[in-house]
Structure 1
């Protein structure tokens, strides 16, 4: 039985321990519960009060003492459903009210519109942002300038990136600097022939953002993401014009 699942109901380790102890003991006093769990009596009482407030523990008087018991475990499912419904409401409020309101308060451009990332973890965040941003657009597509020398390093932290892009039916147009590049579904590719190998670089244009990824010393990846409709639009015009000429 995987008790870690109960943590998804906002129960901590001691709450879970006391709850499970009540099932093993049946109705029990605070002293008995504290003795079985190793939690001091004061803390045990406070935890029992919290569990009772959530309806998964109840108590009844027995002489001068209170005896506690665990409620039907179906109550756990009810808690999960309540949390799910609350989360759905939160998501709806974020979509329709909070996020639009925050965007309205945000200045047209500030230093906060430029983000820097580094290392494999940073590049993975940028790649996930590309998919997440494009997935919510009417036309699920984006454009890329890519050089051969970066390709072997780009998807190192996110090897199933292309698989996820295809699964979400996101299209990409790639202008490759130099030779190489693999064909894949929902992908079109054209080439700019170069003399010698161009510097490692990758520019993704996914309005309202542009991500620029390159390699520092020892193939250490770094990225800059600019969140600007104007800049992304200008880059898209440049890309589309060049695409038609190739």
Structure 2
């Protein structure tokens, strides 16, 4: 049994997949055997063949005034993937070009406290991308109470994020929960990283991150996650002083 889910993810409909697979089995054929083998209404077969030809997944020849159809080599799917990659790369370039214009529309000022809420793992990832964008070479991200669960749920993403922030030269100072030592030890071996641990009696699913003039307060549990962002220079400075006190009493 052919697994068709991957082909569906490339954008093919179930009917297109059915006709394409039938063509592969039949080889060069007219529509009569194709209709009989695929069990699809004739009008739909012709419509589907046109779409497959448009995608470069089928072709036809004319012999004695009859059309003979055949499936393209399955290697054609690689070309489709490459084409989609190029489209995504072009979209990414367009988005990067648009971001400065969008940022100019923001009405944030130094005197106004800006508060935003992000939900779910996708929301947490957005916050980390924001940290990466906001901090430059030689600047530091500070974390208080990094919990075990957030690492368990996001470790793949976080390892890739750390790789990128190290390449950019961003420093990290972490105060981990004691039960997350396994992850703290990984960070200790990373460049631009310092790690300490809270006392074992202090374990919380909440954590605080300070970067630039922003403070983020996160909470995670098995059923979901949320992160509150507060943009204000004075608040960020206050939490940074809180971090400094905890850093002195935390252990390596």
Would the TM-score normalized by the shorter structure come out above 0.5? yes
Q: Does structure 2 retain, via aligned residues, the 8 Å contact 1:134–1:141?
A: no
- Residue 104 of structure 1 corresponds to 104
SS in 1 for 2:207: strand
> 2: distance between equivalents of 1:234 and 1:128?
25
Comparing 159-168 with 15-24, which one deviates more in the overlay?
Answer: 159-168
Secondary structure, counterpart of 2:77 in structure 1: helix
Residue in structure 2 matched with residue 68 of structure 1 by the alignment:
69
Aligned residue in 2 for 1:92: 93
Could you tell me which residue of structure 2 aligns to residue 174 of structure 1?
174
Query: In structure 2, what is the equivalent of residue 143 of structure 1?
Result: 142
SS at match of 1:28: coil
Number of matched pairs? 228
Equivalent residues of 1:143, 1:239 under 8 A apart: no
Query: 1:81-127: per-residue Cα shift (whole Å, max 9, x none)?
Result: 22222221111111113x333333344399x962253xxxx2x3344
Distance (Å, rounded) in 1 between the aligned partners of 2:180 and 2:28: 67
Q: Is the 8 A contact 1:27 1:67 kept in 2?
A: yes
| Cα shift at 1:166 | 4.6
Displacement after TM superposition at 1:39 (Å): 1.8
Secondary structure of the residue aligned to 2:104 is helix
- Closer, same or farther in 2 for the Cα pair 1:192/1:239, shift >3 Å? farther
Partners of 2:194 and 2:128 lie apart in 1 by 17
User: Structure 1 unaligned runs (5+)?
Assistant: none
TM-score (norm 2): 0.68
Map Cα deviations across residues 140-171 of structure 1 (whole Å, 9 max, x no partner).
7421232xxx8354444335566455544364
Aligned partners of 1:204 and 1:210 also within 8 Å: yes
Partner of 1:50: 51
Equivalent residue, structure 2, for 1:157? 153
- Give the RMSD, CA atoms, in angstroms: 3.9
In structure 2, the partner of 1:125 is 122
Cα separation, partners in 2 of 1:171 and 1:181, compared to 1, 3 Å? farther
How many angstroms apart in 2 are the aligned matches of 1:73 and 1:18? 13
Indicate conservation of the 8 Å contact 1:190/1:243, yes or no.
Answer: no
**Bigger shift: residues 72-81 or 24-33:** 72-81
Q: Is the 8 A contact 1:143 1:236 kept in 2?
A: no
Looking at structure 2, the residues matched to 167 and 31 of structure 1 have their Cα atoms a distance apart, in angstroms, of 57
Contact 2:143 2:175 in 1 (8 A): yes
Task: Show the counterpart of 2:206.
Answer: 201
Report whether the alignment pairs 1:134 with 2:131: yes
- Partner SS for 1:27: coil
Q: Aligned with 1:114: secondary structure?
A: strand
Q: 1:239 to 1:9 in 2, by over 3 A?
A: same
TM-score normalised by structure 1 residue count: 0.69
Q: How far apart, in 2, do the equivalents of 1:54 and 1:142 lie?
A: 48
